Chains A and B, each alone.
Chain A
Amino acid sequence: MFVTERHQKIRQMILEYKRVDVSNLSRLFSVSEVTIRKDLEQLEKEGFLVRTHGGAILNEGSLPLESSISTADPDLLLKKQKIGDVLEKIISNNELIFLGAGSTCAEVSRKLVTKNELAVITNNINAIVILSENPNITLITTGGNATRKNSSIALTGSETIEFLKGKYVDKAIVSADGISYLNGFSLQNDIIAQAYTLVFNQANEKIVCATSDKFNKNAYSSFSPIDGIDTLITDASAPDDYLKYFFDHNIRVFNAYDIEDI
């Protein structure tokens, strides 16, 4: 069993039993206690659990963020984490960015926690909880009503759009529900889609983070034509024809590979 599989199983156990034991886990997975401790350390960094003497307990405060991610495809989570790794290298300290809603943007914000003097304007409540860990990051929320989809909470409404008018940013980072040639980058929530269109016109660099399952899908409302972005960060399974299209149109594509455990 590989590291990531073990992590996933530990997450599931914690959700079910609310606590785990180092010696039990070590016996269960046939690995040393040192290995288990390392696993727990990593999961604690992700905010999933809190280590105790001899084991770990669920981090109650993080529950809304984690429940859908852990029961969903563990591969998807990994892909979002890799996207976050790439984004972390693209963003410098001292930048003003807009971060969009959704689980992908929340997951990538985990990797941005270490950036000092970053200023983030966002409507992504989950991301705010994560980024608030670092007091050196300036967090600004847009206005709007809090709405929840699965485990993602976002601010949406006409106030959101009003707030964003005239706010210029270095980089706008959003995700998409659908990516297709005809419909461009699209989102189910049309109000948030309008907000993205607005922010894109006010950003130096337009970045979309999306896992490869979004390709060739059409969501309700398009917020950008297919060639209207500067950078796309996706995973290794992105379709070849899209890669070709973006390269020919001078759009940078990062399809993040995960080479650990090969």
Chain B
Amino acid sequence: MEPARVLKVEEVCKNFDDIACLSNVSFELRQGEILGIVGGNASSKTTLIKAISGARTIEKGKISVIDQQGNEVVIRNTADARSNGIAVLHEDAMIYNHFSVAENIYFGAYSKANVSRGCVIHWGNIYKMAEKLCNDFGFKIDVRQSAATLSIAEKQIIALLHVLVLDTRILLIDEAFSALGAYDTEKVLQIIKKLNGTGVSVIFLSQSPEHISNIIDSVIMIHKGEVGRKIERTDADFQTKLEEFNKFLNSSPFPKLEVSKGRVLMECSGLCYKHILKNISFKVRRGEILGIVGMAGSGRTTLARLLCGDLHASGGSIYMGGDSIHMKTPVDARKNKICAILDDREQYGIIPAFSLSDNLLFPNYHSNQGKGPSFFIGKKAFTSHARTAIDKLAIKCTNPSQGIGELSAGNQQKVLVARGFIAKAELFIFDEPTRGLDNAGKIQIYNLLNEISMSGRCAIFITSDISEAIGMCDHILVLREGTLVGDWSRSNMSGTNIHENLYEAAKESMI
């Protein structure tokens, strides 16, 4: 007889502002099943787990637990989740360092464990029960010792035992192994297997399925908020699918190049603009691609406009190459070697009525290749200049005199970038350059960013696409409601971190 289902996730949808984070996620979990959900950065897997544990509300769909009597109980919040036996094990096991091992195991479960009578807690009993529990699981430890002295693996195990004590039926494990070595991971996995032996169903979230491939009964892949079908260990394609997922997760299509960074080119200190931007400070080095991630309304376009002289800051200062600069108009920005390609190109960038070559060279008519001021606009020279740019940047057009309005979005941007190169810009600011572009257009923009950084220039890349930012940037700043709330270098940036910055997630308390 097939084991009963314990968890049903049906057509779950979750949005953050207007961005779909989870789309029609559906799957079921059986009693005693160990399911692996694998997905990369920014795949929304943590959001899914939070939805199941009740920590996040969902817009559409239903998450329900099926209790021992066979009734469906809908999960709407953490209280529902907890009282129906759902528990979460996080990457950093929530252990109270100042308590002992036994206290951590039995915390919140004193009445369940029958070690209290009224208001009195029988510590002797607690220590005895904790010791027995640890022995049953083959875990050798002194239950009276302080949790502060435990290793990370030991803390995870304590957290697991605690979860068991709370009568958990469904255990959600969120990437609990990244801090553990291979040996420790094995130890923790064994405990989990024993837990599963007592009837607990487990959902593993992981970026690297090879850790858990031996222990799981089934696997689901999650990508950009959508899930594939569940594949059982008994299915013929289980192994090949796992390998496929592994290969997919270990590779990233973003063409990131490691470029050595030079001196600081631009520094902003305490920039403010009316009530929209407060106290923005950051540095950009030569060769660096700095990402600024923010949702609509966070002030990111205002910041871009400030940095290119279109708006005048109400406070704070901007330094280029160590010198304080004051930009009253975009002409000042160009003089300071800043080139900005803003979101609304029609308003801020191109002159729609004019031709490609005019748009390319308009601001540069005076820069007659250093040969002194020219009172005549030499058509021939400028057309050849335009042709070079078209050739080198592969701008798709019929000829240089084509109206720029006829070019595609991506090609219009290339014209603006070429204009920056002609003006000898050192710092490029891109505001949502890949929005509305297809993947081919995106790759071309990413490679332009690479070229900018390889040539010793720098780029500020403003985007609302987290995976793109992680894929291409050396450094990411997170902007929310006009303030910088996150600062991540390449070594510690992750989809979860940035997402939390953007949506002000509070750390969950120990369940």
Tell me the A residues contacting B by CB distance below 8 Å.
2, 85-86, 89-90, 230, 236-237, 240-241, 243-244, 246-262
Contacts and interface: CB of A to CB of B under 8 A. Distances in A.
Given A89-B259, A236-B393, A240-B440, A252 B253 contact: yes
Interface string B439-455: 11111100110111011
A173 B455 CA distance: 24
Nearest to A86: B257
B97 interface: no
Nearest to B418: A262
Given A250-B248, A250-B251, A257 B393 contact: yes
Majority SS of interface residues in chain B? helix
A256 B440 contact: no
Nearest to A2: B388
B438 interface: yes
Contact of B255 (A241, A244, A253): A253
B219 to A, nearest CB: 18
Contacts of B439: 243-244, 247-248
Nearest to A233: B255
Contacts of B252: 250, 252
A258 B452 CA distance: 10
B295 interface: no
B451 to A, nearest CB: 4
B421 interface: yes
B315 to A, nearest CB: 36
Given A240-B440, A243-B440, A259 B421 contact: yes
A259 B257 contact: no
A89 B454 contact: yes
B493 interface: no
Given A241-B440, A261-B388, A262-B421, A251 B394 contact: no
Contacts of A230: 251
Contacts of B438: 240, 244
Contacts of B450: 86, 254, 256
A255 B257 contact: no
B258 interface: yes
Given A247-B443, A257-B447, A259-B455, A90 B257 contact: yes
Q: How large is the interface on B (under 10, 10 to 19, 20 to 34, 35 or more residues)?
A: 20 to 34
B392 interface: yes
Nearest to A90: B257
Closest 8 CB pairs of A and B: A240-B440, A243-B440, A236-B394, A247-B439, A262-B421, A250-B251, A244-B439, A257-B451
B502 to A, nearest CB: 25
A251 B251 contact: yes
Contacts of B451: 256-259
Given A237-B394, A251-B253, 16 more contacts: A89-B258, A89-B454, A90-B257, A236-B394, A236-B444, A240-B441, A250-B247, A251-B251, A253-B255, A254-B255, A256-B447, A256-B451, A257-B448, A259-B421, A262-B389, A262-B392
Contacts of B452: 259
A257 B442 CA distance: 14
Contacts of A250: 247-248, 251-253
Task: Output the residue of B257, B259, B448, B451 with the most chain A CB within 10 A.
Answer: B451
B254 interface: yes
Given A247-B439, A251-B251, A254-B450, A262 B388 contact: yes
A251 B448 CA distance: 18
Nearest to B257: A89
B443 A259 contact: no
A241 B389 CA distance: 22
Interface in B209-259: 247-248, 251-259
A101 to B, nearest CB: 25
Nearest to B260: A89
Task: Output the residue of A248, A261, A262 with the most chain B CB within 10 A.
Answer: A262
A261 B422 CA distance: 8
A243 B392 contact: no
A102 to B, nearest CB: 23
A253 B443 contact: yes
Contacts of A261: 388, 392
Given A85-B454, A259-B455, A262-B422, A247 B253 contact: yes
